[in-house]
Chains A and B, each alone.
Chain A
Amino acid sequence: MFNLPIEGEELFVLEFGDIVNYFSLYTTTLFLFATAFIIIAIIARPERQTDIVFGTDAVYIKDVNQENLRFQRFMAIACGLATLGAVSSGDLFNFSLFTALIGITNIGIVAGVNNRYVLNAAYNYGIVAMVATTFLFGGAATALGTCGTLSIWELAGLGMVPLAAKMFLVLGVMGEGMAPFYIAKAEITRAPGAPYVLMIHVSSLLIFLRVIEIILTV
Chain B
Amino acid sequence: MIRRIGKGFRIFSNWMSTYENLVAVYAALGILVALCGVLMVPMLTYHEDQIYSKTIHRDSTLDPYDRGGIPFTRAEVKAQYPANSPTVGFVTAYLTPLSWFLANSTPYLGTTIVAHPGGILDEILYNTRGLDTVVETSILFTAFAIASFLFRRRD
Contacts and interface: CB of A to CB of B under 8 A. Distances in A.
B46 interface: yes
Given A18-B85, A97-B132, A114 B155 contact: yes
Interface in B8-48: 17-20, 22-23, 26-27, 29-30, 33, 36-37, 40-41, 43-48
SS class of chain A's interface: helix, strand, loop or mixed? helix
Contact of A20 (B81, B149, B150): B81
A126 to B, nearest CB: 10
Given A101-B138, A128-B22, A182-B19, A171 B80 contact: no
A19 B51 contact: no
Contacts, number: 138
SS class of chain B's interface: helix, strand, loop or mixed? helix
Contacts of B112: none
B139 interface: yes
A182 B45 CA distance: 39
Q: How large is the interface on A (under 10, 10 to 19, 20 to 34, 35 or more residues)?
A: 35 or more
Interface of A: 15-20, 67-68, 71, 74-75, 78, 82, 85, 93-94, 97-98, 100-101, 104-105, 107-108, 111-112, 114, 121, 124, 127-128, 131-132, 135, 138, 142, 144-151, 154, 162-164, 167-168, 171, 174-175, 178, 181-182, 185-186
Interface of B: 17-20, 22-23, 26-27, 29-30, 33, 36-37, 40-41, 43-52, 79-81, 84-85, 127-132, 135-136, 138-139, 142-143, 145-146, 149-150, 153, 155
